A and B are shown apart, each in its own frame.
Chain A
Amino acid sequence: MSTDLYQEGLLALAGAAEGEGRLDDPDVTLTLDNPLCGDRVTLDLHCDQAGRIAALGHHVRGCVLCRAAANLLGQQAIGQDAASLDTLQRAIKGALRGRHAWPTDERWQDLTLFEPAAAHKSRHECVLLPFEAVVEALRQHGEGGATGT
């Protein structure tokens, strides 16, 4: 495992612009701030009848870690539902805190790029913010699909 926080793979993911941009007429929109640094993630989602993500757009005002995490969601979150992403978000939080291993699901294999962040407690929220945002957006959608922040 690389201990370099700013390894090439992470920088590439941060610049990948996967899912970057806003959606027209989203089913749900959510903006979440990181109170520690002021970073901000805005997510737009289209969802199918079963509550799975059909399309995801994001606008991130944040660091490399935050942008990379949002792009990973842009790549891989299509077809995921609230329960699976909530489980994933908890797993990432636990892995960052060293409580258990990183998820091994092939879909989320690029999460290994965030492993060096575990050693930097003040940066954990940078990784988590997009995942927390998508879980909260899906929760709000499940409660009636309200658009809000």
Chain B
Amino acid sequence: MSFDPHAARADFPLLRRDHEPALHYLDNAATAQVAAPVLEAIHAHETTSRANVLRGVHRLAEAATEAYGTARETVACHLNAVDPDEIVFTSGCTAALNLVAHAFGATLAPGDEVVISELEHHSNIVPWQMLRDRTGIGLRVIPVTEEGRLDLTLLPDIVGPRTRLIAVTHASNVTGALTEVGPIVDAARAVGARVLLDGAQQVPHARVDVQALGVDFYCFSGHKVFGPNGIGVLWARRELLADLPPFLGGGEMIRRVRLSETTWAPPPQRFEAGTPPIAQAVGLGAALRWLGRHDIDAVGRHLEALTQRLVEGLHTLGTERVRVLGPGSGHPRGPLVAFDVPGAHPHDIAQLLDGHGVAVRGGHHCAQPLMDAYDLAGTTRASLALYNDAADVDACLEALETALRKLL
């Protein structure tokens, strides 16, 4: 199978519209555009099947419950999960990480340790700091190499007998580095610890098989996989979920409520308090079915070629003038490129690029500890999705050259 980015692009109403100047959307790591089949699925659901799920017996409630369950099955299939009941819908990837920090965190004792990394998004740092401050656990940190990869040579010094969880990114939202999962799983298993991967930057671009990865928790967000906002996913092993207490209370998460006590529903409902994001789940299911129609390996090759074009183009502007972060050749990287231009602030670069229709992100990318490690306030980041093409990359490079003439 081959892959045609222009055919994929035709499925995105926002990208089909005329823009002046022409739009080159390269902020996909923040939010990807939403595909027409997703919008159509949400519209169809809301206009034919809108009702609350699980409790009602009328036909609309049955239809909504069916649609919500189908979405869960679609997600499970996409991740190659053993059972749809291993899929917990949340309001986003951040909510999924907070859920684990609370539910799994409740099983930890003072002195137990959670290992994170310098490469993490704030969403995979702050919940663990809050847990540490609530319960007295220890927090250990895997540093990054100069290239922005996890320095796994230090794992033996960091993972120890009190380690209960290693929670790291699957793909960095700043350096693009892909995490070598095997050594992390091995290190965790050696001490009986669990592994969590933040897959927000990986699921939109690559095949993810949670069984093959051998991890225990995996999470991602809907709006980065061409789906709607307000929906995220936590996958966890069935037996692990079954042993965890709930995080939020109320709604579908109960089995029996008495004034004296409450017992919990089995997973996944135990972790889905309140009315869930039903239409968003339907939209996410449609997004993953749309994504699944494409040859993901061909998509990967397309994105790899574009990323290489972008990196090489940045290098031609002068490696003294533009410093590209992230792994060099020989190490895998996702389809995003962050760079620093000494003397030109990323906000100013991003603003000037916007004047040329090029949408990129400037700032710390919710990764301030990583910025501290690089001694930077922020970087400019161009992040690709399957609908981008060489013209988008070239427009970015041309606009950058113009911007730097103004700023430097």
Q: Would B368 and A37 count as touching, CB distance under 8 A?
A: no
Contact of B351 among A5, A38, A61, A62 (CB under 8 A): A5
Which B354-381 residues sit within 8 Å CB-CB of chain A? 362-364, 368, 371, 377-378
> Could you say which residues of chain A place their CB within 8 Å of the CB of B59?
none
Q: A5-B351, A6-B352, A61-B377 are in contact. Are A38 and B368 (CB under 8 A)?
A: yes
Total A residues in contact with B, Cβ cutoff 8 Å: 17
Q: Would B377 and A123 count as touching, CB distance under 8 A?
A: no
Which A37-86 residues sit within 8 Å CB-CB of chain B? 37-40, 61-66
> Could you say which residues of chain B place their CB within 8 Å of the CB of A1?
none
Q: Would A126 and B347 count as touching, CB distance under 8 A?
A: yes
Q: Would B406 and A6 count as touching, CB distance under 8 A?
A: yes
- Contact of B248 with A by CB under 8 A: no
Task: Quote the shortest CB–CB distance from B372 to chain A (angstroms).
Answer: 9
Q: Would A62 and B364 count as touching, CB distance under 8 A?
A: no
Task: Quote the shortest CB–CB distance from B367 to chain A (angstroms).
Answer: 10
Q: Would B348 and A6 count as touching, CB distance under 8 A?
A: yes
Contact of A38 among B348, B371, B406 (CB under 8 A): B371
In this complex, what residue of A is CB-closest to B349? A63
Please measure, in the bound complex, the distance between the C-alpha atom of A39 and the C-alpha atom of B346, giving whole angstroms.
10
Q: A6-B406, A64-B407 are in contact. Are A37 and B377 (CB under 8 A)?
A: yes
Which B366-408 residues sit within 8 Å CB-CB of chain A? 368, 371, 377-378, 406-407
Task: Quote the shortest CB–CB distance from B408 to chain A (angstroms).
Answer: 11
Please measure, in the bound complex, the distance between the C-alpha atom of A25 and the C-alpha atom of B346, giving whole angstroms.
33
Residue of A38, A61, A123 ringed by the most chain B CB atoms within 10 A: A38
Q: Would B352 and A63 count as touching, CB distance under 8 A?
A: no
Please measure, in the bound complex, the distance between the C-alpha atom of A143 and the C-alpha atom of B107, giving whole angstroms.
45
- Contact of B345 with A by CB under 8 A: yes
Q: What is the count of residue pairs linking A and B with beta-carbon distances less than 8 angstroms? A: 43
> Could you say which residues of chain A place their CB within 8 Å of the CB of B345?
39, 62-64, 66
Q: Is the interface of B mostly helix, strand, loop or mixed?
A: helix
Q: Would A62 and B352 count as touching, CB distance under 8 A?
A: no
Please measure, in the bound complex, the distance between the C-alpha atom of A40 and the C-alpha atom of B362, giving whole angstroms.
15
Please measure, in the bound complex, the distance between the C-alpha atom of A65 and the C-alpha atom of B407, giving whole angstroms.
12
Q: Would B351 and A40 count as touching, CB distance under 8 A?
A: no
Q: Would B407 and A38 count as touching, CB distance under 8 A?
A: no
- Contact of A120 with B by CB under 8 A: yes
Q: Would B348 and A64 count as touching, CB distance under 8 A?
A: yes
Residue of B348, B352, B378 ringed by the most chain A CB atoms within 10 A: B348
Which A92-132 residues sit within 8 Å CB-CB of chain B? 120, 123, 126
> Could you say which residues of chain B place their CB within 8 Å of the CB of A64?
345, 348, 407
Please measure, in the bound complex, the distance between the C-alpha atom of A64 and the C-alpha atom of B378, giving whole angstroms.
14
Please measure, in the bound complex, the distance between the C-alpha atom of A63 and the C-alpha atom of B407, giving whole angstroms.
10
Q: Would B378 and A38 count as touching, CB distance under 8 A?
A: yes
Task: Quote the shortest CB–CB distance from A46 to chain B (angstroms).
Answer: 27
Q: Would A38 and B352 count as touching, CB distance under 8 A?
A: no
Task: Quote the shortest CB–CB distance from A103 to chain B (angstroms).
Answer: 24
Contact of B377 among A5, A11, A38 (CB under 8 A): A38
A-B contact pairs, 14 of them (CB 8 A): A5-B351, A6-B406, A36-B363, A37-B364, A37-B377, A38-B371, A39-B377, A39-B378, A62-B345, A63-B346, A64-B348, A65-B348, A120-B351, A126-B347
Residues of B within 8 A of A (CB): 345-348, 351-352, 362-364, 368, 371, 377-378, 406-407
Known: A37-B363, A66-B345, A123-B351. 4 other contacts (CB 8 A): A6-B348, A39-B377, A63-B345, A123-B347
8 closest A-B pairs by CB: A63-B345, A38-B364, A63-B347, A37-B363, A61-B377, A38-B377, A63-B348, A64-B348
